[in-house]
Amino acid sequence: MSRFLEKLNDSQKEAVEYLDGPLLILAGAGSGKTRVLTYKMAYLLEQNVVKPWQILAITFTNKAAKEMKSRVLDLVENDAGSIWLGTFHSICVRILKRDIEVLGYSKDFNILDELDKEKVIKDIVKKLNLDDKKYPSGLISYEISRSKDSLKDSRQFLEENKGDYRKEQIAEIYRIYEQTLKNNNSIDFDDIIMLTVKLFLQNPDILSEYQNKFKYILIDEYQDTNKIQFLLISLLASAHGNICVVGDESQSIYGWRGADISNILNFEKEFPGAKIIKLEENYRSTQNILNAANEVIKNNSNKIDKKLWTKNDSGSKIQYFSADNEYAEVDYIVDKIDSICRKEGAKYSEFAVLFRTNAQARVLEEVFMKTGTPYRLIGGLKFYSRKEIKDLTAYLKLIQNQNDNVSLKRIINEPKRGIGDTTVENLEIMANEKGISIFEFIKDSNNLIGLRSSGNIIGFRDTILELISLKDKLTVSDLMKNILKLSGYEAMLNEEKNLESETRFENLMEFIGVALEFEKESAENTLSDFLESIALVSDVDKLDEGTEAVTLMTMHSAKGLEFDTVFIVGMEEGLFPSKRSIEEDERTEEERRLCYVAITRAKKHVYITNATKRTLYGSTSYTIPSRFISEIPSHLYDEEVSSRVKQNINKVQSFLNKEYERSNSVASRIDASVKIAPKASTNKFGLSVDSFLKNVQGQTGTANTSLVDASSYKVGMKIKHKKFGVGIIEKIEQEGDDYKVEIKFETFGLKRLMANNTPLEIL
């Protein structure tokens, strides 16, 4: 028996040993999926199934990839060093570094971050004389990202949106954006996977090479994959079919950024003959916490049945507090943290406060600062988004790639050199006329004759040329030190002599520290590799687990982490679940999955809080407790608060009843208008009235469920309702052409509903 199987439970062992064809490992929260993945790689190597370089393993964060590689190395020592293990983006960059020339780029391409991307878009909008309020860079960036995720370039985007003037303008912005990046020999974050897929589709020989190379493919967090990631995986796995994916549809929380839950729900359909193994034993949380999570998630319809359990103690009950306002809510949290620290000797780092939206962080920070409670906010101003870090990065990018006009325009007058915006615009126009980059244009002094700032431009050019000459002679950290000195950036900060300049200098020293760490870990230690590493880093990757402070973060950022005690704040209808999600079943289900993720971050204690009155986005309003509070049965709460929970259940039921009656009223009015209109008639969009009704009903909560003939209902029958969940029919009374049906729902109690207006699924 393999030495790797001794420490695994039966389900984990089965997952590790299964090697024949597609495998879906449904891994519930805290069920040891990382251990299964690492042991599976070690097992593949121990059993000589594949060589290390024939394994492709993909995770969603650099932190997870680093941890996984370290674990595999501990198990099989040097044998694992050449495994291809990283994020989707880091793996694809590795492929592009080798083959991107086929697509018309050179190998020294730069990667634009989101801020640079929006800056380029803003410049294009300005050049096209468009109103930046009608064409905001954030919206256009989103449209471009979604298009690239669907493998659509600007031409295809235009074809799909012909006749829509605004979308046609966005298509033109997209076209110029594509051309600008190509001219700069730059790609953005979305290009990384899209260009890799294009590389494979347009070059079957290159695809075949990688298909034959990777004999075994493992994907972590499969529920978070999007369409283009699925396509990439399918292309690579199609030759051997040995694909193992690990995921949990109950933790699919990134639909808003393109993640497609159907990838995991339809795995068997997409990969025929696939085996499914469920990991349901949880090693993280107490049973009470797991029971609460199980009870919440069971209300979703798009799920695969599984139930978390543990050998751990039942643990403490769920705690709940309803505050008068958001300040009282945070006061309660701070008091509880201090109390637990005093009584149990807990550390601040063992606590996390999770919130739904970043706007909630302001009050949290304010109260934590006032009380002196140490905290760290994840998701604030990111380190790599700070001005001084972006400036130094732009110098590095220009040294690496002299076609990068975006980086050049950022630093040509930073620090101030007397080179104004108008001069830079003129330089770009003249360079474009010659079909060359701005730096290539200013390299020829003859091109600068007659320009007022020519001397300053030449000074900047000569500094960059000197730094380029040092690129291959110095380490990245030493090159950074030279940039700060030769550019005058360090002198500028020293001259300012204020707290802000000191902080900026300290940040730059920290950045050089990042380079030093990179040099320790990287074998090649090239500027290109360093720029790639910082382009792909995420905020959570930098989370210092040793910091003695309470962690404040969004629920989305908390995924994959764990803490002894978790506070879930702002549990109110309209905030969590969010206002935008309430009217769409699909979005509400994703919010519920987010609640499941938040609860299962806790190992020992869960505190749920809300405020009866909250000021948010400049508006004060009275709130209704979140439906998720009432989806946790009252017996799972502490006895002192269970009565308040029951009161909240009544409030939530009343609110949901009104919302449902309102939606049924809308559907009924539309239905009445349809009965008058001829069945074959169409509206101005070319839809038949029946189709139009279905579309509208889809927005009011009656879509996606077939309406059964009411005469089929029987007393005692088990049914399912979209909003109220599972129930038993207790009474049926005929009223004219309709039936009044009394149903006892498991969560919402007794309801009286009219059958013709009510979608019920017979179970």
Active-site amino acid positions: 33-34, 220-221, 251, 601
Specify whether the CB–CB gap between 560 and 354 falls below 8 A: no
Nearest C-alpha neighbor of 458 from the set 450, 448, 473 = 448
Phi, psi of 632 (to 5 degrees): -90, 115
**Strand (E) or helix (H) holding 181:** helix 165-183
d(CA 611, CA 616): 12
How does DSSP assign 460-500, residue by residue? Answer: HHHHHHHHHHHTTTS-HHHHHHHHHHHTSHHHHHHHH-SHH
d(CA 32, CA 29): 8
Task: List, in order, residues 6 or more apart from 707 with CB less than 8 Å away.
Answer: 756, 759, 760
User: For 86-107, what is the HEC assignment?
Assistant: EEHHHHHHHHHHHHHHHHCCCC
DSSP 77: G
Nearest C-alpha neighbor of 566 from the set 30, 26, 28 = 30
d(CA 310, CA 307): 10
Phi, psi of 351 (to 5 degrees): -115, 145
Nearest C-alpha neighbor of 388 from the set 362, 366, 410, 367 = 410
Provide the 10 A C-beta neighbour count for residue 143: 17
Residue with tokens 């009050």, as numbered in its chain: 363
Task: List, in order, residues 6 or more apart from 649 with CB less than 8 Å away.
Answer: 629, 630, 634
Residue with tokens 């009411």, as numbered in its chain: 710
How does DSSP assign 96-158, residue by residue? Answer: HHHHGGGGT--TT-EEE-HHHHHHHHHHHHHHTT--TTTS-HHHHHHHHHHHHHTT--HHHHH
Question: Would you mind telling me the total number of residues written for the chain in this entry?
Answer: 763
Provide the angle, in degrees to the nearest 10, between the axes of the packed helices 476-486 and 527-535: 90
Query: 733-742: long-range contacts at Cβ-Cβ below 8 A with a sequence spacing of 24 or more?
Result: 738/710, 739/710, 739/711, 739/713, 741/710, 741/713
d(CA 725, CA 732): 19
Retrieve residue 694's tokens. Answer: 């279905």
Q: C-alpha distances in angstroms, 353 versus 364, 456, 569, 631, 742? A: 9, 51, 7, 21, 41
DSSP 447: G
3-state secondary structure of 761: strand
How does DSSP assign 364-420, residue by residue? Answer: HHHHHHHHT--EEETTSS-GGGSHHHHHHHHHHHHHH-TT-HHHHHHHTTSS--S--
d(CA 73, CA 279): 24
Retrieve residue 660's tokens. Answer: 């449902």
Task: List, in order, residues 6 or more apart from 677 with CB less than 8 Å away.
Answer: 689
DSSP 48: T
Retrieve residue 590's tokens. Answer: 């994703």
554: region left, alpha or beta (phi > 0 left; psi from -120 to 50 alpha): beta
Name the amino acid, one letter, at 43.
Answer: Y
